Amino acid sequence: MPDRPITIIAPTISRVLDGTCTTLRRPRGALAACRAGDRLWIREQFRIHRDYDHISPLQALDRGATPVMSSDEHDLPDYATSDLGRRRFARELPKAWHRAHLVITSIDTIHLQSITPADAINAGFTTLDQFAQAWNAGLRGFIDQRSIRPPKWENDPAVLVLTFKCHAAPMGGEIESTAA
């Protein structure tokens, strides 16, 4: 199976990249076909030099632009971010600019409301209520298609729980799934 994209944004992206968060919940859908051993390349919010604001990220890539990932901005000095343009959606990130892969170790289906307060904190939220509010708001980190809104928290839908190992560097080539 070829690598698939997965969108992860704040507050979860930093916790995934530092290895603290090793599970994600997503509506059943495009990722339901994934199996243990499959790889997901991470899409995240980013910015590029403001000179490229008028063109697509792919055109900027072809012209030699370098992205700054939004989750890293707070760690950079002002001079490194002063010329950056507008924040771009994670779904706009060209695969050539991604910086990490997830290798799925297991996939389960559970009801959304079975998430514990500790699970929500592990995903970067301060409370379970904050997680529920983000889910209902359609936080782009939960979905990978603009036209799909996650099922509401109150409905306690069945969701996928992806358990993974993060590789904080792009992995070369596409692989076939090793799962049966």
Tens of pLDDT along the chain (180 residues) come to 579 999 998 899 999 999 999 999 998 888 889 999 999 999 999 999 999 999 999 999 999 999 999 999 888 888 888 899 999 999 999 999 999 999 999 999 999 999 999 999 999 999 999 999 888 887 544 555 555 666 889 999 999 999 999 998 777 654 443 333
Place of tokens 């010329």: 83
Q: Rounded to whole angstroms, how far apart are CA atoms 42 and 171?
A: 11
Domain total of the chain? 2
**Same-domain status, 39 and 110:** yes
Identify the pLDDT of residue 17: 93
Q: Answer yes or no: do 32 and 15 share one domain.
A: yes
Say which amino acid occupies 99: R
Mark whether 101 and 24 lie in a shared domain: yes
Residue 123 lies in a domain: yes
**Residue 79 domain-assigned?**
yes
Instruction: Give the domain range for residue 113.
Output: 4-45+90-167
Instruction: Convert 13-41 to b/e letters by CB count within 10 Å (16 or more is b).
Output: bbbbbeeebebbbbbeeebeebeeebbbb
Beta bridge partners of 24: 162
* Residue 107, strand partner residues: 162
Q: Is residue 30 part of a domain?
A: yes
Domain co-membership, 84 together with 163: no
At 73 the pLDDT is 87
Boundary of a domain, candidates 88, 122, 150: 88
Give the model's pLDDT for residue 170: 74
Whether residue 73 is found in the same domain as residue 159:
no
Q: How far is CA 126 from CA 18, 118, 174, in A?
A: 17, 9, 36
What is the reported pLDDT for 173? 59
